[in-house]
Amino acid sequence: MAAIRPPSTVSAWQPSVPGIAEVFHARFTDHAYPAHVHDTWTLMILDGGRVDFALDGERHGLGVSDAVVLLPPGVSHDGRTVTEAGFRKRVLYLDSSVLPERLTGAAVDTPLLADPALRERVHGLHLALAERDPFEAQSRLAFVRERLHRRLAGRAAEGPGTGTGTGRVPVPVPVPGARVAVRLRELLDARVAEGITLAEASAELGYPHPTHLIRSFKAAYGLPPHAYLTGRRVELARRLLLAGVRPAEAATAAGFYDQAHLTRHFGRHVGTSPARFARSGRT
C-alpha cells in the first residue's frame, strides 16, 4: 500500500517589519514552480525533505542542513519536490533596503550559503515573526542582514564577471540583443497591471520583428516575456491579497482577466489558491 502523503499547507503574511515584504511558510508534497522572477530577495531555510531548483540555468539541490538559500531579485529560477515526502520551507522576501541589488552577482554565483550561524539567525527571526513581535524581529533582521552582507560583499568586490565565481549583474552574460531585452523588461515592469501587446512593445522599442524581442529577452533573462509578466502579476496579486483585497478584485487589479485566470496561475506559482493564501496569514 502506498504511503499517504501529508497535505500541502501554506501560511503567508506581511509583517510590520521594514525590509520584509512577505513571510511564507509551506509544506509541499508534489509541486513544481515554473521559471519566474521576484522583485525581492528570497531567503529560504529548509525544515524537511529535499528541494531542487535552477537559478539562471544552473541546477542546485538542497536537503535539511545548515545551508541557507539566497536567490536575488530579477534572476529567473524554478523549484520542485524531489521525493514523495516533499519538503517544508520557511521563506522571507526581503527588499533592497536589506540587501542592495549590487550583490546580485555574488548571490547568483553562490545561492547556497553553508553557514550554521546564519541559519540560526534566520530561524530566530522566523520565531520572532511568528510571535508578531516587530521590535524583536527588527533586531534579529539586523543581525541577519549583517551576516548576509559579510558573506556576499567580498564576492561582489571581486568585480563583474560571467558566472565563473566573480559575480554577475542581472543580465548575466553579454548576449545579442541584451540592450533591447533590458528596455523591454523596463517596459513590462512599468505596465504590470495594464499590460502591453507585443505589437505595441515592438513599435515603442523600434523593432519591427516581435520574434527578435522574444528571443533577446529569453536569452537575457531565461524565460519569455509573457512568462515574466505573468510572474510579476502573481507577485502583485500576493501583495494585494495579504493587504486584505478580495481575490476577485486582486485579480483584475493585478492584470488578470478574472479570478479564475488568477487562480490558475497562482496555483502554479505559489502552490495554493488565492483565497487560501489570503486566509493563511489570519489563522
Residue-wise pLDDT for 156-211, tens only, equals: 545 444 343 333 344 444 455 788 999 999 999 999 999 998 889 989 998 878 88
How much is the pTM?
A: 0.85
pLDDT band at 136 (very low <50, low <70, confident <90, very high): very high
Least confident of 25-34, 170-179, 260-269: 170-179
Residue with cell 511568528: 130
pLDDT band at 281 (very low <50, low <70, confident <90, very high): confident
Mean pLDDT of 96-124: 94
Residue with cell 497591471: 193
How does pLDDT run across 221-243, given as a tens digit for each residue?
999 999 999 999 999 999 999 99
pLDDT band at 4 (very low <50, low <70, confident <90, very high): low
**Which pLDDT score, from 0 to 100, does residue 167 have?**
36
The Cβ of residue 123 has, within 10 Å, a number of other Cβ atoms equal to 14
**What are the backbone dihedrals phi and psi of residue 5, each rounded to the nearest 5 degrees, phi first?**
-75, 140
**Which pLDDT score, from 0 to 100, does residue 250 have?**
97
**Which pLDDT score, from 0 to 100, does residue 84 have?**
83
For residues 217 and 248, give the distance between their C-alpha atoms in angstroms, rounded to a whole number: 31
**Which pLDDT score, from 0 to 100, does residue 265 have?**
96
For residues 269 and 114, give the distance between their C-alpha atoms in angstroms, rounded to a whole number: 27
**Which pLDDT score, from 0 to 100, does residue 7 have?**
77
- 142: helix, coil or strand? helix
Mean pLDDT of 72-80: 93
Top pLDDT among 5 and 273 is at 273
Mean pLDDT of 24-41: 92
Q: Percent of the chain having pLDDT more than 90?
A: 69
Burial of 59 (0-12, 13-18, 19+ CB in 10 A): exposed
Averaged confidence pLDDT in the chain:
88
Mean pLDDT of 131-149: 93
